[in-house]
A and B are shown apart, each in its own frame.
Chain A
Amino acid sequence: MGSILRKRRLASALLALALLHHGATASASDGLNSPALRFSGFATVGAVKGGDDNLGFRRDLARTGVFDGDADWAMDSLLGLQLDLRLTEKLDGAVQMVIRDRLDDVLENQVEWAFLRYRFSPDWTLRVGRIGLDVYALSEYRNVGFSYLWVRPPVEFYAPVAFYSFDGLDLTWSRPLGDGMFRARLYGGRTGNDFEVGDGVTGLTLEPIIGVTLGWESDHWQLRMTMSQTEVEEEQEYFPGLQPLADALEQVVLLWPEATNLQANLKAGGSKVYYHSIGAAYTNAPWQVQAEVGYIDSQLDVYPALLNSYVSIGRQFGAVTVYGMLADSDNQNERIEVNPPFIPFLPVESAQLAFLGQALQTAFDNTSMDQSSLSLGMRWDVRYDTALKVQWDRTWVSAYGSGIWDTKVAPEDDQILDTFTINLNVIF
């Protein structure tokens, strides 16, 4: 029901696009002085077809999956609107709204970012407000389909990080270095998102989040290295949605002594998660190569440590670029096996323990992300502001490693799934 409403809202927002588009081009060519106010935007309209009866394809963890090989229009479609405001030569600000399918579609969540920026000098810049999170190379602009080659950033790499922005501040220092420009960025603040757990939606807040990004960019090369550290806020004792399981475990300790340890495995408050990544992109017509390697070090058993990577090669033929990509996410933790005891003279209680054990096993198995994909696709620059893309992904999901997918029952065997996507991307 909610999903239908969300899709309807998305559709009407996308329809409004044509009108806005007309208005934007008119205002952009008016003034001769640098405009104090600038309006711009981006949009993606497209369909994805994938999933089976058990595993639902999703773009990131904070989404509802697409099952049964159905076609879904809401997964990738979105509309982004941005307003840039220049107050003085040194002070400016910007607001970006993204209207798309989300679990909790309130205005506060639609504001992708909103910040004030102060340029101390050509080298130093400070921003305060809600700012894009650049844990990985495409993190900050993964909504802007027109700006990258594929139909979406590889899920093996980008789905595990379901946080798009943070509330806080960042400081950037940039300097020419060799043939290119060196940039160092330091940031800190808090972030959060909503996740679907069972039939409900629960929020997870990470506070503080701090990080550093080092990058070097030249005509052909983009190199970057990032490190960031987050902590689940102390008040959040258990991972979203796992409180009932933890409570149930507490009540069966007398019958099942191991329950205490398992309960500890569900704890979240105060746990730290570290994100590390290195990435490189090389562009020299007609070739375009890009790769990233990331390591997520986690103290959470329900968000296991992960080594992920991808490499993509594209070749241009006029306005068309054909590409191939390999992506991999490799769970670094041992599978936690839950074995509730069977007590012969307490058959009813034993059955309840078995049920609880099953729920707990599902909670652990559904968070393990172990899979690889091969993708082939094509981007066609129809016009200077419009790109049409198609992509096919074949994904090999390891047994008990389907955490990237919206999982009903963690599969005991390896699975192979195909996903097809077509979308149209515009900027204005």
Chain B
Amino acid sequence: MMTRTVRILICLMGLLLAAAASAEIVVVVNKQNPVDSLNRRELVDLYMGRTQHYPNGTLVLRLDQAPDSETRTLFYRQLVNKSVAEVNAYWARLLFTGRASPPQVLDNSASVLDAVRKNPNAIGYVDSRDVDNSVKVIGRVD
């Protein structure tokens, strides 16, 4: 009896802890986008400008969150272990040599989700708590 209560309590605490730690970032695309999943390698290639296309050859429209947002900081720290300033320095090289244009910056998760809903080629990332089923989740960064 006692042990069961303890076990339930531990389970509950675990769930709470998991929820607290679940500042998990999900990568989303338009529901019409034929891409169903991207692995870490493919996400890095897209977000670090090494390719301008989805694996199926469609041109990509990359979206970024506000430069001082926690979501953006966490996304790049987890994806490539770099600060936003370092990622910007890297992108400055691609942009100012004319190789590629950096992701378009939107203000917040709501704007990102809205842009993804409206544009079949768009790709964005949001906090997993902000996501809804109007978009398709194709990857996780944690």
A147 touches B115 (CB 8 A): no
Measured in the bound complex, the distance between the Cα atoms of B101 and A84 in whole Å is 8
Give me 15 other A-B pairs in contact (C-beta within 8 A), A40-B95, A143-B96, A385-B85 excluded: A34-B61, A115-B98, A122-B52, A122-B57, A127-B98, A140-B97, A146-B88, A181-B45, A217-B50, A219-B44, A285-B81, A285-B82, A381-B83, A387-B85, A387-B89
Chain A: interface residue total (CB-CB under 8 A)? 48
Q: What is the CA–CA distance of A143 and B92 in the complex, to the nearest angstrom?
A: 11
Tell me if A117 is interfacial: C-beta within 8 Å of chain B: yes
Given A42-B96, A427-B88, residue A181 in contact with residue B83 (CB < 8 A): no
Binding stretch for chain B, among A25-33, A237-245, A269-277: A25-33
B78 lies within 8 A of chain A by Cβ: no
The chain A residue sitting closest to B121, CB to CB, is A34
Cβ–Cβ < 8 Å partners of B95 in chain A: 40, 82
Report chain B residues within 8 Å CB of A131. 98
Q: Are B105 and A28 in contact (CB under 8 A)?
A: yes
Rounded to whole angstroms, the CA-CA distance of A379 and B88 in the bound complex is 15
Within 8 Å of chain B (Cβ to Cβ): is A119? yes
A383 at the interface (CB under 8 A from B): yes
B119 touches A32 (CB 8 A): yes
B interface list, Cβ under 8 A from A? 41, 44-45, 50-53, 57, 59, 61, 67-68, 80-86, 88-90, 92-93, 95-98, 101, 104-107, 111, 114-115, 118-119, 121
Query: Which A residues touch B45, using CB under 8 A?
Result: 176, 181
Instruction: Answer whether residue A141 sits at the interface, using C-beta atoms and an 8 A cutoff.
Output: yes
Q: Kindly state the separation between the CA atoms of A174 and B95 in the bound complex, as whole angstroms.
A: 17
29 pairs from A and B in contact (CB 8 Å cutoff): A31-B104, A32-B111, A32-B114, A32-B119, A33-B61, A33-B118, A42-B96, A82-B96, A113-B98, A119-B52, A121-B57, A122-B51, A122-B52, A122-B57, A127-B98, A132-B97, A132-B98, A134-B97, A141-B92, A141-B93, A147-B93, A148-B89, A176-B45, A180-B50, A181-B45, A181-B51, A383-B85, A384-B83, A384-B88
A412 CB–B CB distance under 8 Å: no
With a cutoff of 8 Å between Cβ atoms, the chain A residues found around residue B114 in the complex are: 32
Cα separation A204 to B127 with both chains bound (whole Å): 56
Q: How far is the CA of A319 from the CA of B82 in the complex (A)?
A: 11
Interface centre among A29, A82, A121 (most CB of B within 10 A): A29
Q: How far is the CA of A387 from the CA of B115 in the complex (A)?
A: 31
Mark contacts of A12-47 with chain B using CB atoms, 8 A cut-off: 1 yes-contact digit, 0 otherwise: 000000000000000011011111001010100000
A35–B102 alpha-carbon span in the complex (Å): 12
